[in-house]
Structure 1
Amino acid sequence: MKRIALALIGVAALALSACDGTSDTLTDGRDGVDGQNSGSGSTAGGEDTTFNHSNNPGGADPQATEQPAEPAQIKMVGSPEVTSRLHGCGKLSVASIANLITSRGLTGGQPQGTQSAQQIFNASGAALGAANYNGRVPEAPFASTSAMAKLFDIFAMGSYAAVGNNYNAPACPNTKILGADGKFTKDGLTCLLGKPARDEHVAIANDAIAQNGTDGAKIAIAALLAAAHTCQ
């Protein structure tokens, strides 16, 4: 009985000494800096130990004493429109490409012995990332190298239809890409781009005609379509 009682007393003493924070063999009960017991809440931040963050979502308060750093690369990135095109590179769905070809009248006009934009599209489902339902593979959400190359092939051959005399886009009735003077019209480029064309678009496109009277218009159309409907 004495042995049992002594054992129980010893266990109880060890438990009590471990709970009072004074017999820790590593810290000897001290939890602060330089062996001092700092007490509870010593790691909480205060006015003198935390950074003064600005609560203004538009930027730092001009009156604040601390201003956030503005690395040079942040200023060089550009507007949100630019960054979204650089870092959020999705692609036109296969259905959207089909609608673009038909609604903009890019279905014919190709030279003899070549394929039209519509024919290239019809034979390029796999390259464009179309869904494989039999294999339970969904449509690719991002463009691949082959998809980008094939899409530009479609735009390049579609340009032959756009410069034709009988061009008539279902989405833009009675709108001509090239005017009677052989130069681009702003309404025609607006139809191709899907958004209002600017004077800069017209000037660059007409410059291509000035440099290459034979194929300049087709090159400009393919380049504008690629710039408007693919990301960088």
Structure 2
Amino acid sequence: MSLIRSVLHMAWLLITVIPWGLTLVVISLWVGRTPLWWFAVNWFRLVIWGTRTILGIQVRVSGLENLPQGATAPAILLSKHQSTLETLLLPTLMPHPLAFVFKRELLRIPFFGWSMARLDMIHIDRESRAAALKHVVAQGKRLLAQGTWIIMFPEGTRMARGQNGTYQTAGSRLAVETGAPVIPIAVSSGKCWPRTGFTKFPGVVDVSIGKPIPSVGREPKELMREVEAWIEAEMRRIDPEAYR
């Protein structure tokens, strides 16, 4: 049954992304980034509806009250990354437009990648870390000044359930450079949507949003250690079975 549901869900993604992606590319010729972003978020919401209805994956969110308030309040979101689910889900939870930091190769994905290219994200060349970091800081400053929140996965790639990778400091460096607070996020998506494999499974995915961590006067490595400590401790709370 889970395999059949997964096939139907993939069909749902393809059926919806093609017209939505093409429309987004066309209207981007006349529409600014902010309304274009909320147009894209409506597709994310459609996908999450399909995830809930077809796959039987429910989402339980805590900590929304920790998000900075105000139209001009900056934030840098640093999230655990276990599957594609959080990439689709987190934009539907946030009150600000988001800019993902992601590898440039994703722009080649038909329809989805083409749409991402029109949304003024931060795409980087992972082969050159020094140049990538400079690009993240420069583009991050510009987008934060426009009211866009930056979202990054500090481990750099999807991690298997119950595992953690090396937390890179690009996000904390951007926070220190701009004075924007860091919002740590723990996500137990690996329970239902594994990092590898096609089949997804019904269940409950927890999203826990932590309190803002100030960045002013901090050292990037020390700040990232605090972020990592909170996320990994929270992962053990929301998904204890994965860490036995």
Q: Does TM-score exceed 0.5, indicating one fold?
A: no
More strand by share: 2
Higher relative contact order (CA 8 A, sep 6+): 2
Could you say which TM-score interval applies, normalised by the shorter chain?
under 0.3
TM-score (ref. length: structure 2): 0.22
TM-score (ref. length: structure 1): 0.23
More helix by share: 2
